[in-house]
Chains A and B, each alone.
Chain A
Amino acid sequence: MKLIFAAGLFGTATCAALAAAAPHAPAGDGAAPPVLVSRQLAAHAHLSTGDLVTLGSDPQGRRRATFRIAGIYEPTPDPMRFTATRLEARMHLPDLLDLVADPSDPASRESVSAINVRLANPADASAFAGDVAARAPGITARPASRARDDDPFAVLDRFHVAISAVTMAGGTAFLLALMVIRAEERRETVGILRLLGISRRTLLLTVAIEGVAIAALGAAFGILLAFATEGLVNRIFQARYDTALVFVRVTPSIAVRAVLIAAPLGIAAGIAASWTLLRREVLSIVRR
C-alpha cells in the first residue's frame, strides 16, 4: 500500500491523502462507494477501474474511507490551471461530507464551499448577486462568466495582437526593402516602357496587381503553414503539460484577417517602392 497526496478532492476538501489498495478486493468491498479519478492521478498512482482506494482528509490518514474506482475521467481542460498537475478525484457530495465533516460540529455537514446556480435569465446575474448579499450576509454571489475587463485571456489577447502588430511592422520594413531592390532591378525595363508611352498609372496598376498576387500567395502559404504546424504545436504543449487543452487553433476568421492585412500591405509596399522609380523623369530612369 502506498500513500500519495492528491492535489484536489472535488467538493469541500482541498487536500487529501490517497492510499491505493491492492487490486484484489477485501471482504465486504461491495459496499464501497464509487469514486472517479482523473487520468493523471490514475497514471501517477497506477490505478485502474475496479481498484479499491482509501481516501483520507488529512495527511496522517486518521479520517479515511475506502472507495471503489468506478471510472477514470479526463479533467475538463482549464486554461487557468494548465500548468497544474491534475491529481483529482470526484465523488458524491454525501460521501465527501462523511469524509471531511467534523463529528463534533453538526453544522459542518451542512457546509459546502460553493453552490452553482443556473439562472432562468442569465442577464439577472447582478440583481441576483445583490439579492443574495442582502438576504444572506457573508455569502458572496458572483457570475461564473468573467467580464471582459476581468478576463486574463482578454489581456493575453491584447498582448498577442500587440506582438503581431510589431511583427507586421518589421515584416513591412523588410518587404519594402525587397520591393525597392526589385524596382531597382527593373529600372531599365520600366524606362523603356515609359519611353514607349505607357503611362505611370498603368505601370503602377501593374505593380499593384503583382503586389496582390504576391501578397495573396504569401498569405495562402502562411495560412497553410499555420494549419500544418497547428497540430504539431498543440501536441508538443499538450504533452508538455499533460492536458487536453488546445493551445493553437487557426480559425477561418484568423485566416481571413491574415489575408485582409497582408494583401493591402503587399500592394502598398509594391506601389511605394515603384513610385520612387516612376516619379522620376523618364530620361533619368534610363540613366540619360
Chain B
Amino acid sequence: MSALHLAWRTIRRYRAQTLLAIAGVAVIGALLFDMLLLSRGLLLSFADLLARAGYDVRIVGGGGMTLRMPIPDSRAIAEAVGGLPEVEKVALVRILPARLARPGEAQSASVALVGASGMTAGVWTIVQGADLDGASTEACPLIVGRSLAARLHIAPGDAVRVNAEQAGVASALPAVTCRVAGVGRFAFAAAGDDIVATTLDALHRASGEARDGDADLILVASRPEAGSAAAVAAIQRARPGLAAYSNDEVLEQFNRNGFAYFRQISLVLSSLTMVFAFLLVATLLTVSVNQRLGEIAALRAIGIARRRVAAMLLWESALLVGAGGLLALPLGELLALGLDRILRQMPALPEQLHFFVFEPRALVIHAAVLVVTALAAAAYPVWVTARMPIAATLRREIVG
C-alpha cells in the first residue's frame, strides 16, 4: 500500500475533522487568494483604464498628475507635439463645471463638461445613440453619462440647455442649446459623477470666452515603432519644462503613492493568513498524529518504513491543504466580488476601477504558498513520528 493510499484511508476514516479542516483551509485560502488579487488589482485595473483611452503619453499642467491645472498655450503645444515624428495623434481635453437642463425646465443639474478634440473611443463607451463624430453636423453634440441621462430622462436626439461656468466665477451667460448624440459610460467617472462630453469647439462656444481656454490635459498617442518613452523624450526636447508622462510613469507614480495602502494591507494580510493556515494545519496534524501514535507505532512495527510513514503524513497535509486550496479559488472569486463591491463605494473612485483583478501570477503564488504551508505544517508531526520509539509507544498506547 502506497503512502498516498494510507493517507487517503486516514482522512476518509476521520471524515468530520477532515471536512472541517478542508473548509478552514478553503476559507483562509480564499482570503489569501483575494489578498494576492488585491496586491496588484488596482494597478492592473488602472493600467487597463489608461490603455483603453488609446493614448500612451499625458501632458499635464503645473499641478502634476494629482492636481488638475490648465496648461498654458496648450493649442500651440498640441500643434508642436503633433508634428513630432514619434507622435501619431494628439488630443486636447478641457473640463469646466456647467449646468445642464431640459428646455423649459427650471431645474438643472451640475455637471462636469468635458471638451475633447480628436478623441472619443476608449475614454467613453457609447451605450445608446451615436458618438460625437457621428453627429458632426451638430454645432454642440453631447455625450451624456448614463446615470444623468436616466435621472433627467434624456435620450439621444433630445435638446438640452448648457451653461458652462468658470470655477469660482459668477456668470450670467445665456445657456447654449445642445443636442444629445449619445449616452455613454465614462471610463474615469465616479459612480456619483455627472459628466457630459462635447467637442472642444462646442465647449469654447458654451463658455463664451474671448479666446480658447487652456486645456487641462493633452493626450498623445506615440507611433508604435517609436514607443511612449521615445515620445516623452521627444516632447521634452521640443518643449523643455513640459510635464509629460508615459502611461508607465503614471502607473509607477500611482503605484508609489496612491495604491500603496492596498499593497501594504494585502502584504500584511496575506502574510497573516499564511501564518494562520500554517498554525492551524500544523496543530490539526499534530493533534491527529498524537491521537494515532499507537496506530503509527503498529504500522512501523509491522515493517512499514519510517520514510513511508513520513510520506503518509506529508500526503495527509497535501490532501488537506490541496483540497482546501482548490476550493479556495471559486470561494475566493466570490469573496473578491463582495469585497470589491465594498471598496468600490469609496467616494470619487472611477466606476470602472476594480480592486481585485485576476492574473495568472496570483494563481502561481497562491499554489506556491500553499505548497510551502503544507510542507511546513507536516514538518513537526513527521519529526515526532520519525523519532518515536516503537516498542515504548506500543506499550504506552496499546497495552497501557
Contact = CB atoms under 8 A, between A and B. Distances in A.
Interface of A: 14-15, 59, 82-84, 136-139, 150-152, 155, 158-159, 162-163, 166-167, 169-171, 173-174, 176-178, 180-182, 184-185, 237, 240-241, 276
Count chain B CB atoms within 10 A of each CB in A59, A82, A138, A150 and give the residue with the most: A138
When A and B form their complex, which 10 residue pairs have the shortest distance between CB atoms, in order from nearest? A170-B27, A173-B24, A177-B20, A174-B24, A170-B28, A174-B280, A138-B170, A173-B23, A83-B257, A137-B170
A170 B31 contact: yes
Contact of B276 (A169, A170, A181, A184): A170
Given A14-B67, A167-B276, A138 B17 contact: no
B284 interface: yes
Interface string B260-284: 1100100001000100100010011
Contacts of A136: 170
B88 interface: no
Interface of B: 14, 16-17, 20-21, 23-25, 27-28, 30-31, 62-64, 67, 69, 165-171, 241, 256-258, 260-261, 264, 269, 273, 276, 280, 283-284, 287-288, 291, 335, 338-339, 342-343, 345-347
A188 to B, nearest CB: 12
Given A14-B63, A138-B171, A155-B343, A178 B283 contact: yes
A180 to B, nearest CB: 5
Contact of B168 (A138, A151, A182): A138
Nearest to B32: A170
A151 B67 CA distance: 21
Contacts of A150: 347
A7 to B, nearest CB: 9
A83 B261 CA distance: 8
A173 B20 contact: yes
B31 A181 contact: no
25 contacts: A14-B63, A14-B67, A15-B63, A136-B170, A137-B170, A138-B168, A138-B171, A155-B342, A155-B343, A155-B345, A155-B346, A159-B342, A159-B343, A162-B342, A166-B30, A170-B276, A171-B276, A173-B27, A174-B284, A178-B284, A180-B17, A180-B20, A181-B284, A181-B291, A185-B291
A129 to B, nearest CB: 13
B347 A159 contact: no
A138 B99 CA distance: 11
Given A150-B347, A170-B276, 11 more contacts: A15-B63, A83-B256, A138-B165, A138-B167, A158-B345, A170-B280, A173-B27, A176-B20, A177-B24, A181-B17, A182-B287
Contacts of B20: 173-174, 176-177, 180
A100 to B, nearest CB: 12
B49 to A, nearest CB: 19
Given A181-B17, A181-B284, A139 B168 contact: yes
Given A14-B63, A14-B67, A174-B284, A180 B16 contact: yes
Nearest to A60: B241
A170 B24 contact: yes
Contact of A181 (B30, B64, B288, B343): B288
Contacts of A138: 165-171
B173 to A, nearest CB: 12
A139 B260 CA distance: 34
A241 B264 CA distance: 11
A276 B20 CA distance: 14
Contact of A237 (B21, B64, B167, B264): B264
Given A155-B346, A167-B276, A174-B20, A181 B287 contact: yes
B69 A178 contact: no
Count chain A CB atoms within 10 A of each CB in B17, B25, B343 and give the residue with the most: B17
B291 A166 contact: no
A152 B346 contact: yes
A177 B343 contact: no
Contacts of A178: 283-284, 287
B44 to A, nearest CB: 19
A191 to B, nearest CB: 16
Nearest to A147: B347
Count chain A CB atoms within 10 A of each CB in B25, B167, B343 and give the residue with the most: B343
Given A15-B62, A162-B342, A170-B24, A177 B284 contact: yes
Contacts of A174: 20-21, 24, 280, 283-284
